[in-house]
Structure 1
Amino acid sequence: MLEDKFGRRFHYLRLSITDVCNFRCQYCLPDGYQCNSSREFLTLDEIKQITHAFAALGTSKIRITGGEPALRKDLPQIIQQCANTPGIEQVAITTNGYKLKQDLPAWLDAGISAINVSVDSLDPRQFDNITGFGRLQHILDGIEMAIEAGIKVKLNAVMLKQFNADQLQPFLNWIQSRNVTLRLIELMQTGDNQLFFKQNHISGLPIKQQLLESGWSQIIRNKTAGPAQEFHHPDYQGKIGLIMPYSKDFCASCNRLRISATGKLHLCLFAEQGLDLRELMQEGKQHALQDELVALLGNKQATHWLDKGFTGATSNLAMLGG
């Protein structure tokens, strides 16, 4: 079992397979993707080695992230590889949804078990303003297909003071009749968005209080759940999750590690550097890879220090998929 010196156990791997994204989100890549780093992304065989190593150490959930993972043509094969790894019980993906409608059948056939889609606004004009992509309805149609298929679906919405701060009610109306989870995410400061962060950060704590006063009840998280505090209401089919990285003790329940698209272990989204594992992602080196993972975990810190303005090596969220 992967366990750090603070007693936290890591059942959850976030696996980035590309840092390329075709959206221009205001809080992440407002100028679009810039090809200024290696694009020698993990191969299918390297993904096999790293997922088997993590699974052997107790990991049971893998989330495939980007950039935008659907930009890789071999995404169905990657999903299948992860789903067929002994010990892996859940394979999820986080996507901007632009290929969801087209590719969902292939993802389902490959063994995907959960999908998170980034939808920062249900207003088409505001969605276009935030993301630089003017096809909100196309994405919502893909989400409806996923719901109808019976797969677990979550909507990710980054809370932005200047863009969507007044749109909680439309989101609530939308989830009232849909079995989905809306996750409201506090904007996080990165190396490239410091001014934007100061202008747009909203704390999730007042929203949490508003939910509790409106009859929502908090749900107990399971061991592989992400960082969201989730809430349910008897009058709603959907749920709400709040991701509040600036809240007290946010890191105490950390259960996830990250592998970058170029094979580096990130002990935290805001770690000072990635730790290169690619040399060990080869046939016959799995035990050495496992030993290295256990050894490197000893360097994991108690907190991300975001509240002190620390952003580490994370220049933008597309680097590791959040």
Structure 2
Amino acid sequence: MALDAAPLADGFGRRFHYLRLSVTEVCNFSCTYCLPNGWKKTGPLSFLTVEEIGRLVAGFSGLGLSKVRLTGGEPTVRKDFNTIIQTVAAAPGVAKVAMTTNGWNLARHTAEWRASGLSHINVSIDSIDPETFHRITGHDKLNQVLSGLDLALAEDFTAVKVNAVLLRETAEAGFDAWARFVRDRPLAVRFIELMKTGDNDDYFARHHVKAQGLRDWLERNGWTPAPRAFDAGPALEYRHPDHAGAIGLIAPYAPGFCDSCNRLRVTARGRLRLCLFGDGGVDLRDLLQDDDDREALTGRIVTSLGGKSAGHSLAVGRSGDLRNLAQLGG
């Protein structure tokens, strides 16, 4: 099916070519803004199987989807993660297979994942100062993560990017360091404005800073906006003639942030989420048990889009039932 004929559209004319698929809720880091006390098991770990993931992605790709991002939790804690990559990459019509990772396993498996069909990597690195990284993540693994990042850059991935949550303690003072970091590295570092969730009210009040501060810094220092791909995520990236890499920002509190939404989410337990900051979701798992359920699956997905709202309600303090980002994969 041609991409421009994709029937995955909502009532506001937005087209959806991009699926963020969580494969686990488990995370082995304890980041202050997400899981400050570490991940705790609260029930059976009944996450989607490889077979269920294959049927799910085949259903979405049949509707014109062309990009899948594997998330968590930390997706690479799954022992079958490489098989998941192979399964997703084999789906007809899927041109991009991406993942978001904390990078702890990157150095050991980068080449293997690339050979299996992974095309894009985003590594979460909230600071390149070792002490600050340790304080935020709970782990003294910055050198290990950076080694994996540089190995990934040496492979022929379509894109390697870094995600950093924008925090008061790492704001403007750290922008110069990140600019030096991308001077010779052909990667994008994107700062994500801290978002309020059900479990981080006090933390949000202490650490939230507006993304406008980064935008002002970029413009003062000669960085200019770069064009966005049709299936890009929400980041606005900036480039500088003296730097190989880019710096970007994701500003969910900015007016009109949801106007260009092009992505849907499925949780590790098989629920379709129309918005990160929504409630509940639509269960798809009962239609992932047999190949013969493909038509019913795609029908449920298309019908569900009628319930997608124009935007989230973060500006008025409502984040839906999202407790933390590991719950849904961000």
Q: Using the TM superposition, give the Cα deviation of residue 313 of structure 1 relative to its aligned residue in structure 2, in angstroms.
A: 1.2
Cross-structure match for 2:4: none
Q: What do residues 172-207 of structure 1 show as CA deviations (whole Å, max 9, x unaligned)?
A: 100011000000110000000011001101111121
User: Matched residues in 2 for 1:206 and 1:7: separation?
Assistant: 32
Report if the CA contact (8 A) 1:120-1:164 is conserved: no
- Report if aligned partners of 1:24, 1:31 keep a CA contact under 8 Å in 2: yes
CA contact (8 A) 2:14 2:261 kept: yes
Residue 319 of structure 1 aligns to which amino acid in structure 2? Q
The partner residue of 2:268 within 257, 261, 268 is 261
Q: Matched residues in 1 for 2:185 and 2:80: separation?
A: 31
Aligned to 1:104: 110
TM-score normalised to the size of structure 1? 0.98
Query: 1:237 is matched with which residue: 214, 239, 244?
Result: 244
Alignment of 1:175-186 (within 5 A): 175-186=182-193
Letter in 1 for 2:233: G
1:110 partner letter: S
From 198, 208, 220, the equivalent of 1:191 is 198
- Corresponding residue to 2:38 among 16, 32, 40: 32
Which of 7, 19, 42 is matched with 2:48 structurally?
Answer: 42
Asked if the contact 1:95–1:116 (Cα under 8 Å) also holds between the matched residues in 2, the reply is yes
- Report the alpha carbon displacement of residue 163 of structure 1 after superposing the two structures with TM: 4.5
SS of the residue aligned with 1:279?
helix
- The alpha carbon displacement at 1:165 in A equals 4.7
- Corresponding letter in the other structure for 2:226: I
CA contact (8 A) 2:111 2:155 kept: no
Distance in structure 1 (CA, Å) of the matches to 2:208 and 2:58: 38
Instruction: Specify the alignment match of 2:62 in structure 1.
Output: 56
Give 5+ residue unaligned stretches, structure 1.
none
- Count of residues paired in the alignment: 322
The aligned amino acid for 1:61 is K
Q: CA deviation at 1:164?
A: 4.9
Distance in 2 (CA, whole Å) between partners of 1:65 and 1:37 is 20
The answer (yes or no) to whether the contact 2:164–2:189 under 8 Å persists in 1 is yes
Cα offset for 1:38? 3.7
1:106 CA displacement: 1.5
**Do the aligned residues in 2 keep the contact of 1:259 with 1:265 (CA within 8 Å)?**
yes
Residues 38 and 262 in structure 1, CA contact (< 8 A), matched pair in contact too = no
Q: Where does 1:25-174 land on structure 2 (aligned, <5 Å)? A: 25-151=31-157, 152-174=159-181
Q: Does 2:325 align with 1:317? A: yes
Quick one: which amino acid aligns to residue 214 of structure 2?
I
Q: CA deviation at 1:166?
A: 1.8
Q: Provide the alpha-carbon RMSD of the alignment.
A: 0.9
**Cα pair 1:41 1:262 within 8 Å, conserved:** yes
Residue identity matched to 1:222 = A
| 1:31-75 CA distance string (max 9 Å, x none) | 000111441000111001110111011110000000000000111
Partner-residue secondary structure (3-state), 1:13: strand
* Identical positions, percent: 47
